[in-house]
Structure 1
């Protein structure tokens, strides 16, 4: 609301003189995030209790969109912090000089495998999110479609037109699916078994969605039988009563880290560091552990009812540096082969 005054009353002026903090301007941080909306609410409320003088303006987009935004904005940054964005995206941004290295207050609690190796790190992980298939049991029974147990099952003709998966161009989930398949089955610059598998899978995919959660939502509502998605959305939808089974294919699971980094060029460095300090704290890790089976600080995650106890052992050995170095090539090849079925981004 716009307003003005000409002369403050004596009492107001005196209070301002005695209590200048009460009249201090609040700091607003712009945070780019790919976190799910139901996650953001809890994290934002907890941070506000910790730092009541800092307001956060959340700008939410899929991982791929955020990556391109930050690259485009390098000369005039609009964001102060990126939070809940894929480590593979942050590795790309680090190589392009977009990030400001910072060691948060609780860095020593974070596993070495879940942070940038440099000291201070350019980014560090909050939690692991990984692949899961959401399989609608009601629609499958009605259409006599068997439950898949492996990734290669999804290339069989019985799944023709009933599979939905996220686009790796826009979605971090889609990107770790693709890089995991290339790791498991072979890349060979577009000629390997991973690409052959995706060629066969493409025949069965009805749509590549812009977000990683949408395929599971579509499977949950019966708009798809098979939704290649991630475990948080699957576990949450199933807990709400969706008629889905969660399938964790036997070959191994792609994954990435929801991570945090400070954007180089921010004019609110002090406030950005306070957010990073809180986001690395045991309090924050406990919140992440209510949503995900693996937190960057070990031992903070609760047992989730629909996630296998050996989930971490099922994760494919991912090389974030390789993924960052080969991202442009992989996405160009994927788009050339399969992009015609991608959902338009509004």
Structure 2
């Protein structure tokens, strides 16, 4: 952490002075990004403001469920990170509250669009495309062909070699389910999920777990956001990142203030700080390769080039709604997860 203090000390001290938060306060942060990024955000905000942060890391689906369960007596203040769909659902259900940050004019249009679609109850903090990565050593050892499309993953030779998260707990996996429905149409999309199910070796709780397992050599192919696969490759693991040929969905990672937050002033200060270039540039310290929402933030040269990926026109309003999420998850539970493997 010493290097972070030196690198960001001046700007963070200036931010603390500007917010007038030199005295010790407290805040509870629910974080749905990767663990090391969550820890870095919490500790850096403490250094910037003197506000003590109690941070809990869970996947976006788990965090959404927790916030809903606690709605009568909210324990969290800010929910940072994770796919945007559950943030939109939380906004729709009144679980998060409206806030318009003074940092808003520094953000990309897609981040502001996310806020406007939710009545300003959430905002975009980063974006990233869905895809998959595979362990080239394992693929070669098992004489597997190189996959380049979604439908390649249905080939019988990949049986037991594919891993993804459970869409009930993982925002990444829900985005996968919603993307297949949008790419292929609902009927064919669910046929795809059924075919994929036959090749799945495990449904994990966390969205990034499948590619971490592939990096360790415990799994061959992991369906994840591409930036998570890039992190494994940059870390030296034999992972090749694939942007599927049919096109793919994407996420707008989001941030929301929980309705009924006990520490509202501190929550707003974190919200503003998290939208600053200084805070968003911390992603580079932990090899987080998403595209940041602040126009003045830095994007790693290793990050997937969104302009070179065939992105679908993902319908965030529809697939970020509570009714549609419940319907798709129930259909997946009844028609896909119950099938033999």
- CA distance, structure 2, for counterparts of residue 328 and residue 302 of structure 1: 35
- CA distance, structure 2, for counterparts of residue 181 and residue 279 of structure 1: 32
Match of 2:267 in 1: 272
Alpha-carbon deviation of 1:304? 3.2
Q: 1:118 to 1:250 in 2, by over 3 A?
A: closer
1:96 is aligned, of 93, 98, 105, to 93
Alpha-carbon deviation of 1:267? 2.2
Match of 2:35 in 1: 37
Alpha-carbon deviation of 1:165? 0.7
Q: 1:276 to 1:198 in 2, by over 3 A?
A: same
Match of 2:289 in 1: 292
- CA distance, structure 1, for counterparts of residue 262 and residue 43 of structure 2: 24
* C-alpha contact 1:293 1:301 (8 A) present in aligned 2: no
Query: Could you list the runs of 5+ residues in structure 2 that have no partner in the other structure?
Result: 1-21
- CA distance, structure 1, for counterparts of residue 176 and residue 298 of structure 2: 23
Query: The residue matched to 1:121 in structure 2 has which SS?
Result: coil
Match of 1:9 in 2: none
* C-alpha contact 1:88 1:320 (8 A) present in aligned 2: yes
- CA distance, structure 2, for counterparts of residue 262 and residue 122 of structure 1: 7
- CA distance, structure 1, for counterparts of residue 298 and residue 311 of structure 2: 17
TM-score when scaled to structure 1? 0.85
Match of 2:145 in 1: 146
- CA distance, structure 2, for counterparts of residue 335 and residue 256 of structure 1: 23
* C-alpha contact 2:227 2:288 (8 A) present in aligned 1: yes
* C-alpha contact 2:80 2:255 (8 A) present in aligned 1: yes
1:64 to 2:61 alignment: yes
Q: 1:159 to 1:311 in 2, by over 3 A?
A: farther
Deviates more, 1:223-232 or 1:59-68: 223-232
Match of 1:116 in 2: 115
* C-alpha contact 2:207 2:224 (8 A) present in aligned 1: yes
Query: The residue matched to 2:312 in structure 1 has which SS?
Result: coil
* C-alpha contact 1:33 1:58 (8 A) present in aligned 2: yes
- CA distance, structure 2, for counterparts of residue 135 and residue 120 of structure 1: 39
Alpha-carbon deviation of 1:130? 2.7
Alpha-carbon deviation of 1:312? 6.4
1:249 is aligned, of 244, 247, 257, to 244
- CA distance, structure 2, for counterparts of residue 240 and residue 173 of structure 1: 21
Query: Could you list the runs of 5+ residues in structure 1 that have no partner in the other structure?
Result: 1-23
| C-alpha RMSD of the superposition | 2.1
Alpha-carbon deviation of 1:122? 0.7
- CA distance, structure 2, for counterparts of residue 177 and residue 119 of structure 1: 22
Alpha-carbon deviation of 1:341? 8.3
1:339 to 2:334 alignment: no
* C-alpha contact 2:74 2:262 (8 A) present in aligned 1: no
Q: 1:341 to 1:228 in 2, by over 3 A?
A: farther
- CA distance, structure 2, for counterparts of residue 308 and residue 232 of structure 1: 7
* C-alpha contact 2:170 2:206 (8 A) present in aligned 1: yes
* C-alpha contact 1:130 1:173 (8 A) present in aligned 2: no
Match of 1:131 in 2: 130
* C-alpha contact 2:132 2:224 (8 A) present in aligned 1: yes
* C-alpha contact 1:288 1:301 (8 A) present in aligned 2: no
1:107 to 2:104 alignment: yes
Query: The residue matched to 1:260 in structure 2 has which SS?
Result: strand
- CA distance, structure 1, for counterparts of residue 332 and residue 117 of structure 2: 31
1:46 is aligned, of 41, 44, 47, to 44
Alpha-carbon deviation of 1:308? 4.3
Alpha-carbon deviation of 1:50? 1.9
- CA distance, structure 2, for counterparts of residue 312 and residue 270 of structure 1: 41
* C-alpha contact 1:126 1:288 (8 A) present in aligned 2: no
Match of 2:230 in 1: 235
Deviates more, 1:168-177 or 1:284-293: 284-293
1:181 to 2:177 alignment: no
Alpha-carbon deviation of 1:239? 1.6
Query: The residue matched to 1:314 in structure 2 has which SS?
Result: coil
* C-alpha contact 2:228 2:289 (8 A) present in aligned 1: no
